[in-house]
Amino acid sequence: MAHSIKIAARLRPALPGEITDDNISIQLASNESTDSAMKSSHISVLNPRDITQIFKFPFPSCYDHNSTQKEIFRNDVEPLLDVVYKGVTVTIFAYGVTSSGKTHTMQGTKSDPGIIPRTVQALFGKRIQYPQYKISFTMSYMELYKDEPYDLLVTRENAPKLPVREDGNGMVFVANLSSVPIASALDFDQIYYQATKNRSIGATLLNRASSRSHAVLTIEVVMLDPLQQKTVTGKINLVDLAGSENNKLTGNDPSRMAESRAINQSLSVLGQVVHALNQGASRIPYRNSKLTRLLQDALGGSSMGLLICNLAPGTKFRQDTLNTLNFATRTKNVENKPVINERDNRLTAKPHFAAPPAPKPAPTVLQTIHTGASAASSSAGAAIATRRARASLGPSVPRMQRPRGSSIGLNNNVADFQRFALTGGRRLTETIDERSSMADFGMRGMTEKDIEDKITRVVEAEVAKRLAVERQKDEEERKVKEAKEKEEAEKRELERRKEEDVQGTPTKKGMQLPIPSGLLTPLLKKHRDLDDELRARLHDLEKKLEQGQKETSLASSLSPISKKKTGRAYVALARAHSEKGKLAEALELYRRAEAYVPDNIKLKERIIEIEWAVQNNKEFVPSPKPPRRERKKKNKGRGGGRGRKSNGVNPETRSSMAGVGVGCSKEEEEDGGDGETKKNGKGIGGDGPENGLKPSASRGRHHGHGQHKLGTIAETTEFGQEITNAANRGNSMPGLFMKVNKRPFGDVEEGDRDLKDGSSRRDGLRAPMKKVKLEEESDNGGMASEDEVEGHIRGEIASAQRGKALNKAA
């Protein structure tokens, strides 16, 4: 018989500091009243949009702010405990906005206990009313935090997220949730109050100890009737839902907001479920949240339900109050079909039942409970229908027609069903005839205890056997899976190796596998060439770094002048090598020079040019050595004159060129800076007259005003003397061509002049006589030997150290 969820509404008193108003009022039922409206209780709420309008919500139980915990328990909860003793599952849940008093109602305080402790106490107290039973109690307690179940009976650190499962009968349960036996109400209190500390609670602006989760406490009462050889299992789920939250009022921070979202979301699904049930929808969205999945049995399922709506007074809660009452109104139409959970233990006595052919869990013996329209009025006397084992629970009936079920918090639920299956798990109707045959199996004459023991032994043996089979099956499956994984891994490894072989990448041992001929596609070859090139470059860089570090530390001990001198010496040496085609040696020496004159951009460029030539196995033709300048001639008139002479450009043209800027310093101009243009102009990006362009026009396009700048054309007699072969032959190095053309390398002296800021450092960089000497006196074709240069460096270092020592002494 269908049974509607009962609704009770409770208005909490105003808390200290809260403004009271008359927005909500409770009219209690009065039997004496002649007014029919007063015969039932109801709640009145002013319409927030039109205060002349009042909404009335009639409910079977209404409690105003003066109501006590005891009152509610007595009126609405205690009657349901007899239903539990009949073997029915009862679910009581507290619903309402945050701070409306749900936890107060369900849990209460030690001095003013709520429904939960009172229920447990009453359940223990009721034992004496059922002397025919051997009664045991177990409890489980969990919270749904952010819609995930956590065991509250284990410490927080050891409480992993638990999975929600469904057994073969569509009963939802939380797997691995602990279930502990409780011996007394006192025992319960200790466990319960300890466990509540594990519950997620946080402070919000509306509630200092706001529940951040839904808490579900389940008390299971197992009643063994030895006489009738049956076990009746009753259960009560006590659910303290988290409150719906209006985050404009809660002042939640981001983490609280996330909790709040989860709370509101699950409550919204709860509303949808209730709505769908009212509509008689074919699909009820239980699965949209774990809360509704677990409450499935209480919402349109096989349990009896009581919904306590908690209300908070005050205008600020008025909208929430209306929402809560609307939800309650919808919920009261939800119908459940409660059933009695009863198991016939005698079935286990039949030896052939101990090993039933079908391992699928079968339902326990269930009976419909015959209640009145109101649970309260049924006064726990829910008459049990004599018809046993409802056909609706039998396997032949489609599942949709069966009451939806969940088994909150009973991880032993599955075990129970397995046990039932072992004992046959058959509908009682099938077994009545079989009962008489028990005598034929040597049961006659046995005491009840003997029979029970025997049953237990058989059951245990069977369970052990089945578990062993299951374990073996698991083990085999695991092995097959492992073998498969291994095989796949080997396959992958083989493929990887094959790929490596094709690409010629190093194997584990760092060996280069030979590439089978014909496998090297142009693309792979390109990759490989790039690899080789990169490796070579890396090697080169390492070498450079090593050498550079050595030279740099040497250079650091020299004075700036000595550094320049040494740098120049290396450049001279390098140049001599490069002239002889010994590019590698020249490169090495240029790099050494770089350590002494690190700012010399022309030198850097020279290094790049030679590096490129070496790498590409190209010839490198340095430009002819500059004619040595006579220092005393270094003045304006003479420089200009020489320039005029050497390049044949007439003075007017020259001066006009200088005026528009030929890209060299004033000094360069004076030295006849553009004189070389005529000679080497063809190599300078085609700027020279031989390209058919007028020098003035071509150079005038470049940086002018006598400033040295990057990108300046400096193909002057003195500073542009070394025109690279690349440029000369139009065989430019990609990316370097412009640089080379713009910044032709002179010697260190000139190079240093070509600073970014255009300043001249000529004074400090004047070519030393020593260099000239080195070049002139060397019997090595004008080339100073490395020994000579090193000797020079050592000399410089020694003199620098001597100078330092003298300074110190002074």
- Residues in the site for ligand ATP, rule: CB under 6 A? 12-13, 15, 96, 98-104, 207, 209-211, 242-243, 310
Nearest to 14 by CA among 48, 49, 56, 64: 64
Among residues 312, 268, 259, 269, the alpha carbon closest in space to that of 96 is found at 312
Q: Which amino acid is at 657?
A: M
Q: Is 102 known to sit in a ligand binding site?
A: yes
Dist CA 247 CA 251 (whole Å): 6
Does 764 count as an annotated binding residue? no
Residue 585 phi/psi, 5-degree rounding, is -65, -40
Q: How far is CA 85 from the centre of its chain?
A: 48
According to DSSP, the β-strands at 304-311 and 89-96 are parallel
Q: Which is nearer to ligand ATP, 211 or 724 (CB)?
A: 211
Phi, psi of 222 (to 5 degrees): -105, 120
Residue among 713, 709, 717 at smallest CA distance from 727: 713
CA pair distance 778, 101, nearest whole angstrom: 105
**Contacts of 203 by beta carbon, 8 Å cutoff, 6+ apart:** 209, 210
Query: Nearer Cβ to ligand ATP, position 320 or 715?
Result: 320
With CA atoms as reference, report the closest residue to 427 among 303, 353, 302, 343.
343
The separation between CA 681 and the C-alpha centre of its own chain, rounded to angstroms, equals 64
Work out how close the CB of 13 gets to ligand ATP at its nearest, in angstroms, rounded to a whole number.
5
Residue 222 C-beta: closest distance to ligand ATP, Å: 31
Q: Is 140 annotated as a binding residue?
A: no
Closer by beta carbon to ligand ATP, 14 or else 414 = 14
Instruction: Give me the least distance between CB of 6 and ligand ATP, in Å please.
Output: 19
Q: Half-sphere exposure (CA, 13 Å, Cβ side) for 118?
A: 24
Query: Residue 223 forms beta bridges with which residues?
Result: 135, 232
State the nearest-atom distance from the C-beta of 30 to ligand ATP, in Å: 22
| Rounded CA Rg of the chain | 49
- DSSP string over 419-488: HHHHTT---HHHHHHHHGGGGGGTTTT--HHHHHHHHHHHHHHHHHHHHHHHHHHHHHHHHHHHHHHHHH
Q: Which is nearer to ligand ATP, 211 or 725 (CB)?
A: 211
| Cα separation, 547 vs 539, whole angstroms | 12
Nearer to ligand ATP, 178 or 204 (CB): 204
Distance in Å, CB of 328 to ligand ATP, minimum: 15
**CB of residue 381 to ligand ATP, shortest distance in Å:** 30
* Smallest distance from ligand ATP to CB 203, Å: 10
Query: Shortest approach of ligand ATP to residue 104 CB, angstroms?
Result: 3
- From the CB of residue 653, how many other CB atoms can be counted at a distance below 10 Å? 16
Asked if residue 292 belongs to a known ligand binding site, the reply is no
213 is in an annotated binding site: no
Minimum CB separation from ligand ATP for residue 146, in Å?
A: 15
Q: How far is the CB of 15 from ligand ATP (least distance, A)?
A: 5
Would you call 706 helix, strand, or coil by DSSP?
Answer: coil
Of 98 and 341, nearer to ligand ATP (C-beta) is: 98
Alpha-carbon span 487 to 500, nearest angstrom: 20
- Residue closer to ligand ATP (CB basis): 139 or 241: 241
Angle, helix 601-615 to helix 560-579, in steps of 10 degrees = 30
Query: Considering the complex, what minimum distance in angstroms separates the CB of residue 311 from ligand ATP?
Result: 10
Q: Smaller CB distance to ligand ATP: residue 99 or 292?
A: 99
* Percent of residues in the chain assigned helix, strand, coil, to nearest 5: 50, 15, 35
DSSP 61-88: EEE-TT--HHHHIIIIIHHHHHHHHTT-
Eight-state DSSP code of residue 617:
T
Q: Which of residues 331 and 431 has its CB atom nearest to ligand ATP in the complex?
A: 331
Rank residues 246 and 547 by Cβ distance to ligand ATP and give the closer one: 246
Output 111 or 386, the one with its CB closest to ligand ATP.
111
Q: Is 99 annotated as a binding residue?
A: yes
CB of 310 to ligand ATP, least distance (A): 6
Nearer to ligand ATP, 103 or 198 (CB): 103
Q: Is beta strand 339-344 parallel, antiparallel or unpaired with respect to 230-240? A: antiparallel
Binding residues: 96-103
Binding residues for ATP: 96-103
